[in-house]
Structure 1
Amino acid sequence: MALLPHPIDEDEVTVETRDLLPSHFLFKIESFSLLSKHGIDKYESSEFESGDYKWKLIIYPNGRKTEREDGTDHISVYLAISETSSLPACWDVNAVFSIFLFNHKLDNFLSVRGRVRRFHSLKPEWGFSTFIQTETLIDPSSGYLVDDTCVFGAEVFVVKNKGTKECLSLLKAIDPFKREFKISRFSRLGKIWFSEEFKAGDHKWKLIMYPKGDIEEKERSVSIFLHSVDLERDSSCKKIKANFYICIKNQLIDGAHCKNGGSHWFSTLWVTWGCSRFIPMVDMNDPKKGFVVKDCCIIEVEISIQAVVR
C-alpha cells in the first residue's frame, strides 16, 4: 500500500477499507489527468451539510505545498468548514472526519480517518497532505483511477460540546467595600426589611433583616443576612467567595458594636448567608444597650470579594 502511514498533517490515522458508501458526500472527477493540463492545482467541491454545519472538500491534484519535501508526488485532500460568516464570534467546531477513495477494481472504498480536530477561524480546514501517492493513484492495477475517473467521498461527525465550562477568577486583595444604612422607625418595621441594592466588587448585593427573627429565631433574635443579587439574577455567575462583616453600631458606647460575618462561598444554591441569632431581641430593643436610639438603628456592611466562578 502506497498510502503513507503518517501523513504530514495527521499524526494519528486509521486506514481501512469498507463496502458502504460515505454517508455525507461523494465527489466524482472525470478526466482526472486534465486537471494539471488545465492548470487546476486546487479544486473546492460544492457544499454539503453535516452536524448542522456546511462543509466542502478541497483537492490538490499535484499536492499541497508543505514544509516536508520527500521527493514523492502525492494527492492532498482537505476538509474545510464553509459559510463561517454566519457562525458566532470566536466559533469553534470539533469533528471527526474520514476521507474516502473508491476502488473500482475491488468495489470498495479506501477510508482514512483522523482523530478529533478543532475547526476554528484560524484553522478552518484539516486534512491529509499526503493522502495517496500519485504513482499509486494512476497505476491501472490499483483500481483507484479507471477510464481517467476517480471518486472521493467524505463523512463528518461533529462532536457536540455539551460539557459544562467553569472559570475560577482569583482577585487581588483590595480595600473592602463599606456601606452604612440608617434605619428610622425601627419599632414599626414589619417582619422583614430589605436594604436598597448596592455594588461591591462589581457585584450587586443587599441586606435582609428580620427585626423579630426569622423562622428559626422568631421572637427571640434579630436575624440579618447578606444576599447576592447577581447570583439570583445572572446565570453566568456561579459562585462568589466573599469576606464580609455586618455590624449593628452601638450609638452610646463606642466600640461596643454587635458584629458578625466571615468568609463564605455564595452560590446559586446559597444566594443568602448570614446569622439567624445576630443579636437577642431584648438587647436590640433595650434603649440602655445603645443599638436603637430614638427608634433608629445603624447597620454597616463590609465586603471584600476574593474569587468569582463563571
Structure 2
Amino acid sequence: MTQLPANLNAKSKEFYEETRAAPPSNFLMKIEWFSPSRATSMRSFETRAFEAGGYTWKLTINFEQEREDYVSVYLSVADSDSLALGLGWEVNAIFTFFLHNQLADNYSSFRGTTRRFNAVNNKWGFSKLMSINSLMEGHVVDGVCVFGAEVFVLKPPHLVECLSFVRRVDFVSREFMISGFSKLVDMWVSEEFVVEDHIWRVQVYPRRNSSRPKGRFVSMYLECVSAKSFAQHQKINAEGFIRIDKKPNSLPIYMKHWFRSSMDHWGHNEFISIGDVRSCPDEDCFSLELELRVLAIVS
C-alpha cells in the first residue's frame, strides 16, 4: 500500500498542509463579521482579480452545507475569455492557499500539485480545505478571518537543448602529405574536409606547441573549424585515430573529445619525437593517415 507523505491531508489527498510565519506574497483577503451562519447563507464568494506570474487570477471560496460544512477554495484564470492565447492556451501553475491563524500568528498553508489551466479546465482547487468548526478554532478571532494565495507559474523553457546521436558512425579516412617538414618554422595545416556536415582540419607543429622546452617532439591537433561559430551550448563529440604512414611499426594515436567554441581543437603535445621522424625513410616527406567519426552533436 502506498504511504502518504506525513504532511499530506489524508482525507482529501488534494494538498500538502504546512505552517509558516511569512504571509502569502500574491494575495490577501480579509472577511469581517464572519460567522458560520452568515457564510453558509452566502454559500459562495468570488474575490477581485490579482496578478501572479504574468497572469491575473481570482479565488472562489465556497461555504457549502451539503459538503459537511467544509470550506472549499478554487483558483481560476481571470478574464480567460479575453486571453490573447488562441484556442489552445494553457497555463501550468502550482498554487497554495492560506488561512491566518491569529492565535498562533502564523499561516496554515495548503499546497497542491502542478495543475494545467486551459479553456477546458480553468478552475482548480480543494473541495475540503478545512471544516468550518476547525476554521473557528484560531482562524476566526472577533469575527475576522484572513484568506491568502500564492501562485507560481511554470514558464516554458527558454533554452531547448538537443543531443543527437549519429545514426551511422562509420569512420571517414583521410590522408595528408607533408613535404619539406624540416623547413617548417611554425605550423603545418591540412586542407579542410567535411565529416557529418562539419568542417575539420589537422594542425602539426614541428617543434611542439607548448610552454615547455621545444625541439624534442612534434605536436599534432585535430581542429573542428565549424566549432568556432558554435553557440555556447553547442558541441560535437568525435573520435579518431591518426598515424604517420612511413614510421616503421607505428601505432595509431587515439583521440576523443567534445569540440566546442571554447575548445575547438584537441590532440597531443608529444605526438611523435623528432628522433622518430628522422628515422622515417624520408624525414622531409611523409603522410598522415586519419580516421575520424562523429558520435553525437548537441545543438
Q: What TM-score comes out, normalization by structure 1 length?
A: 0.57
Instruction: Give, in whole Å, the separation in 1 of the partners of 2:206 and 2:138.
Output: 93
Change (3 A) 1:278 1:32: same
Alignment-derived partner of residue 248 in structure 1: 244
Unaligned 5+ runs, structure 1: 64-68
Please state if 1:264 is matched with 2:256: yes
- Which structure 2 residues correspond to residues 1-310 of structure 1 after superposition, within 5 A? 6-10=11-15, 12-14=16-18, 16=19, 21-28=23-30, 43=46, 45-49=48-52, 53-54=53-54, 56-62=56-62, 74-78=71-75, 98-102=96-100, 111-114=108-111, 118=114, 127-133=125-131, 136=133, 143=140, 146=143, 151-155=146-150, 174-183=169-178, 186-201=181-196, 204-215=199-210, 216=212, 218-229=214-225, 233-237=230-234, 240=237, 242-250=238-246, 258=250, 260-266=252-258, 272-281=265-274, 284=277, 289-290=281-282, 292-293=284-285, 297-306=286-295
Aligned residue type for 1:100: F
**How many matched pairs?**
269
Task: Name the SS of the counterpart of 1:206 in structure 2.
Answer: strand
Unaligned 5+ runs, structure 2: 1-8, 33-37
Change (3 A) 1:154 1:141: closer
Change (3 A) 1:128 1:275: same
Aligned residue type for 2:205: Y
Task: Name the SS of the counterpart of 1:224 in structure 2.
Answer: strand
Shift of 1:177: 2.3
Aligned residue type for 1:246: I
Asked if the contact 1:55–1:79 (Cα under 8 Å) also holds between the matched residues in 2, the reply is: no
Shift of 1:226: 1.9
Asked if the contact 1:223–1:278 (Cα under 8 Å) also holds between the matched residues in 2, the reply is: yes
Instruction: Give, in whole Å, the separation in 2 of the partners of 1:17 and 1:217.
Output: 65
Shift of 1:180: 3.5
Alignment-derived partner of residue 3 in structure 2: none
Aligned residue type for 1:130: K
Instruction: Give, in whole Å, the separation in 2 of the partners of 1:176 and 1:124.
Output: 55
Asked if the contact 1:228–1:266 (Cα under 8 Å) also holds between the matched residues in 2, the reply is: no
Shift of 1:172: 5.7
Aligned residue type for 2:97: I
Instruction: Give, in whole Å, the separation in 1 of the partners of 2:171 and 2:57.
Output: 58
Asked if the contact 2:96–2:149 (Cα under 8 Å) also holds between the matched residues in 1, the reply is: yes
Shift of 1:142: 7.5
Instruction: Give, in whole Å, the separation in 1 of the partners of 2:200 and 2:79.
Output: 46
Asked if the contact 2:117–2:123 (Cα under 8 Å) also holds between the matched residues in 1, the reply is: no
Shift of 1:291: 6.1
Aligned residue type for 2:233: S
Shift of 1:210: 0.5
Shift of 1:112: 1.9
Bigger shift: residues 136-145 or 225-234: 136-145
Asked if the contact 2:139–2:145 (Cα under 8 Å) also holds between the matched residues in 1, the reply is: no
